[in-house]
Amino acid sequence: MAADLHALAKTMEEALAELPMFDVHTHLVGGRMGGQGLHDILLYHMVISDLYAAGCPRGARLTQFPGQPTREEAHQRIAEAVPYLPLIRNTSCSWGIRLILEDLYGWREPITAENWRRLDDLIRQRADDREWPRSIFDRLNIQRTCTESARRGCGGDDNRLQYSIEWCFFTRCQWDEFDTALYELEKAWGRPPEVPSPIGGGNRPPTDRTIRTLDDVHAAVAHYVDSIPYDLVISTAAGISTDIDYRQVSDGEMAAALARRSQAGPPERDIYASYINELFLSGLERHAEEIVYQFSLGAEPLPFETASRLSQRTIGQVAEMIARHPRLRFQCFLSSRHANQSFCTLARELPNFSLAGYWWHSFFPDTIRQVIAERLDMLPVNKQIGFFSDAYCAEWVYGKTLLVRKQLARVLAEKILQGQYTRDDALGIAKSVLFETPQTLLGMVPRKS
């Protein structure tokens, strides 16, 4: 039986490679979609977490967009990380690195203190080659990817990219902050869309305007909703924190909480986030035919990155939130393995709610297989999108695509062997969730040849 499963999974993986697909959420930068050096592959933030857990002294990300790390910063961090690579050789992130380096760069040596600069030079040789990342997408049969609109650049990669507005996070908590929703709104008030705040908090540049009254809140939210470039983007990219108690807040409660901002704690945080979020969703619902409200859930900030946790209370409150705005389409990126079954039941009963991919702390092979199997058993194909990479360079789109294909192939093989699907059924279902549903549910568009 094990031999049959292995052989069939291999056959299915080869067949899946022939199917067109979309990557519906990334952080690629138009004009430089490929890796700019070894750091973009070796120090992807998920790998940094592996290294930090193994004892590497720094867990922070490298300099992020709109800048990028200098060669000096990148080399310093690589040199610091290399001694810890043997300790993470067991992880799936390390497997992803090996797939990328072997398949794309022909590199099969262990990375050591003696050879990493040679590998870095090899990757940097491709950094300015505009066709290199496109060739990776073609190799994967990826039609288009979706990235942040702020990373569009001059638009030269529009035939490969579509866009999402990732600007302000009214319902995402930051480490040791209680007025984040107000600050995020102030940051956007009167300004065009920009890059989002990084995870972690603590560094809050001054804003042009300060919210003091209820009228200020309404004016700022109206500006935000009106400033979204609906002719460019197909979705939002928001975050919902499990620590917030979501409810409908009265004008009087919000006004009183504004007066307590300097002494804000968890109760005020919940009021600010709930009020602003409902105001925003009501405004966005007027554009329901133009945009999908995508939100991430189940990854809560720590000093450097996040941990996966999600309360049952939040699941119920998110369901109520979705039901209050029936015209607006909601789609979840879920980072909580144990909550997948719950969210499948929500998607079965809420017509305007769907699920996409495997996000962050769910992007590990065993979890991916569980999520795929549950969703295929519980949801119609037009309520689920089968892949997004969350990658920051084309090389990690490659690595993550291969990891997901292997897991999808195994799940499909198991269902074929138990008589649930025929092979034709399995490939048709895979094509639906990888290629057709991203078009009908999200608005992805195949690339013109």
Q: pLDDT digit string (tens) for 409-426?
A: 999 999 999 999 999 999
Whether residues 306 and 331 share a domain: the answer is yes
Q: Rounded to an integer, what distance in angstroms lies between the CA atom of residue 220 and that of residue 209?
A: 10
**What is the pLDDT at residue 444?**
98
Looking at the fold, whether 203 and 335 belong to one and the same domain comes out as yes
CB 205 within 8 Å of CB 267: no
pTM: 0.96
pLDDT at 176: 85
Question: Which contiguous run of DSSP H or E holds residue 399?
Answer: helix 394-417
Residues 282 and 267 in one domain: yes
Residues 230 and 94 in one domain: no
Q: Is residue 10 part of a domain?
A: no
How high is the pLDDT of residue 202? Answer: 65
Mean pLDDT of the chain: 96
What gap in Å lies between CA 246 and CA 321, rounded to an integer?
A: 8
Q: What is the mean pLDDT of residues 332-352?
A: 97
In eight-state DSSP terms, residue 361 is G
CB 144 within 8 Å of CB 444: yes
Same domain, 84 and 174: no
What confidence tens digit (pLDDT) does each residue in 221-271 have?
999 999 999 999 999 999 999 999 999 999 999 999 999 999 999 999 999
Both 86 and 211 in a single domain?
no
Has residue 203 been placed in a domain? yes
Whichever domain contains 74, its CATH number is 1.10.2020
Alpha carbons within 13 A on the beta-carbon side of 163: 22
Pair (306, 403) in one structural domain = yes
* SS3 label, residue 51: helix
In a domain, 71, yes or no: yes
User: DSSP readout, 116-173?
Assistant: HHHHHHHHHTTTT-THHHHHHHHHHTEEEEEEEGGG-TTSTTTTTEEEEE----TT--
The mean pLDDT of 132-149, rounded to a whole number, is: 98
Q: Give tens-digit pLDDT for 371-392.
A: 999 999 999 999 999 999 999 9
Q: How confident is the model at residue 351 (pLDDT cuts 50, 70, 90)?
A: very high
Answer whether residue 30 is part of any domain: no
Q: How far apart are CA 250 and CA 263, in angstroms?
A: 20
CA dist list (Å): 268 to 24, 256, 258, 262, 272: 35, 9, 8, 10, 6
Alpha-carbon distance 118 to 427, whole Å? 41
pLDDT at 42 over 70: yes
Domain boundaries, position 250: 132-442
- Which run of H or E residues covers position 308? strand 306-308
| pLDDT on residue 448 | 82
Provide the pLDDT confidence category of residue 91 given band limits of 50, 70 and 90. Answer: very high
Confidence (pLDDT) at 175: 83
pLDDT, position 303 = 83
Q: Which of 307, 197, 160 is closest to 241 using CA atoms?
A: 307
Q: Which of 36-45, 189-198, 210-219, 247-256 has the lowest mean pLDDT?
A: 189-198
Do 84 and 231 have their domain in common? no
Confidence of residue 301 (pLDDT cuts 50, 70, 90): confident
CA–chain centroid gap for 13, Å, is 24
> How distant, in Å, are the alpha carbons of 215, 249, 263, 270, 321 from that of 218?
5, 14, 22, 17, 19
pLDDT at 258: 98
In this structure, of 41-50, 300-309, 418-427, the range with the lowest mean pLDDT score is: 300-309
Q: At what angle do helices 394-417 and 92-105 cross, to 10 degrees?
A: 110
CATH number, residue 270: 3.20.20.140
For residue 201, what pLDDT is reported? 64
What is the enclosing helix (H) or strand (E) of 331? strand 329-334
Q: Is there a domain that residue 100 lies in?
A: yes
Does the pLDDT value for residue 203 go beyond 80? no
Domain boundary residue among 69, 90, 125? 125
Q: How many domains does the chain have?
A: 2
The answer, yes or no, to whether the previous bond of 66 is cis (omega within 30 of 0) is yes
Domain stop point among 93, 125, 157: 125
Same structural domain, 141 and 120? no
Per-residue pLDDT at 2 exceeds 90: no
Same domain, 119 and 182: no
Of 125, 148, 180, the one marking the end of a domain is: 125
Query: Within this chain, do residues 327 and 415 fall inside the same structural domain, yes or no?
Result: yes
Say yes or no: 103 and 224 in one domain. no
